[in-house]
Amino acid sequence: MHATSWGLELPERRELMRELQFRYHKWDLYACGHEGILPETLVLPGEVHREVIQISERFGQILTKLEAIVARTPRLLDRLGIPREMYPILRAGPAHELQLARYDLHPTPEGGWMLSEFNEDVPGGFNEAVGLPELLGERFGRARFVGDLRGAVVEAMSPFGPVGSIFATGYSEDLQHCLIIEDWLEAAGHPTCRGSPAHVRRSWGTVKLDGTPIEAAFRYYPGEWFPRLPNFDGWRRLGDKLPMLNPLRRLIRQSKLLFSVWREEGLLSAEELAFVDRHAPWTGEAGRDVSLEQLRDEPEAWVLKQAFGRMGDSVVIGALVSPKTWSETLKEVKLDPSGWLAQRRFGHVPMPFQLGPLYPAVGVYLVNGSFAGYYSRAAPKPLLTHEALHVATAVVDP
Partner 1 sequence: MWRPLSLILEIFTHLRYRSRFERLVPAIGTLGAVDVRGGDTWTRYATPRSLFELWAPAFDSPYEPYHCVTLFAALGHARTKPHPPPPGVVERIEDRPLIKVPDQPIEVHWLNQSTMVIIDIFGPAAVSLGVRFIQRGCQPVCTFDNWPHPRGVGKPEFTLAALLYYSPLVADARELIKVDSPPVWLCDASRLVGRRPSPGNFDNRYYLDDTLLPGSNFLKAQGIDRLVIILGNKSRKLAPDVEAWLADRARDGFEVFSTHLDEPALDVQPIRPVRGHFPRIGSRSAAGGFGSLVPEPSSSGG
Q: Catalog residues that contact partner 1 under the rule CB under 8 A.
A: 18, 21-22, 25, 27-36, 119, 122-125, 162, 168-175, 179, 186, 191-193, 195-199, 210, 212, 221-222, 225, 228-231, 310-311, 313, 375, 385-386, 390
User: What is the smallest separation between the CB atom of 172 and partner 1, expressed in angstroms?
Assistant: 4
CA dihedral 208, 222, 263, 315 (to 10 degrees): 170
Please state, in angstroms and rounded to a whole number, the distance separating the CA atoms of residues 158 and 151: 10
Q: How far is the CB of 175 from partner 1 (least distance, A)?
A: 6
Residue 268 or 388 having the CB closest to partner 1: 388
> Is residue 89 a contact partner of residue 236, using CB atoms and an 8 Å limit?
yes
Rank residues 230 and 266 by Cβ distance to partner 1 and give the closer one: 230
Residue 341: CB minimum distance to partner 1, A? 18
| Nearest to partner 1 of 36, 151 (CB atom) | 36
Q: Which is nearer to partner 1, 140 or 308 (CB)?
A: 308
Please identify, using beta-carbon distances, which residue of 10 and 335 lies nearer to partner 1: 10
Q: Least distance (Å) from partner 1 to the CB of residue 396? A: 27
CB 326 to partner 1: min, Å: 18
CA distance 211 to 80: 35
Which residues have C-beta within 8 Å of that of residue 203, sequence separation ≥ 6?
none
| Beta pairing partners, 30 | 35
**28 vs 51, beta carbon nearer partner 1:** 28
Least distance to partner 1, CB of residue 219, Å: 12
Comparison of 11 and 109: residue with beta carbon closer to partner 1: 11
Q: Between residues 28 and 148, which has the closer beta carbon with respect to partner 1?
A: 28
Contacts by residues 25-28 (CB-CB < 8 Å, ≥ 24 positions apart) = 25/127, 25/176, 25/179, 25/180, 25/183, 26/127, 26/128, 26/131, 26/176, 27/172, 27/173, 27/176, 28/172, 28/173, 28/176
Q: Alpha carbon 173 to chain centroid distance?
A: 15
Closer residue to partner 1 (CB): 118 or 140:
118
Return the amino acid letter for 228: R
Instruction: Find the shortest distance in angstroms from Cβ 365 to partner 1.
Output: 12
Nearest of 123, 263, 259 to residue 181 by alpha carbon: 123
Q: How far is the CB of 220 from partner 1 (least distance, A)?
A: 8
State the minimum distance, in angstroms, from the CB of residue 232 to partner 1. 11
Closest CA to 373 of 348, 351, 390: 390
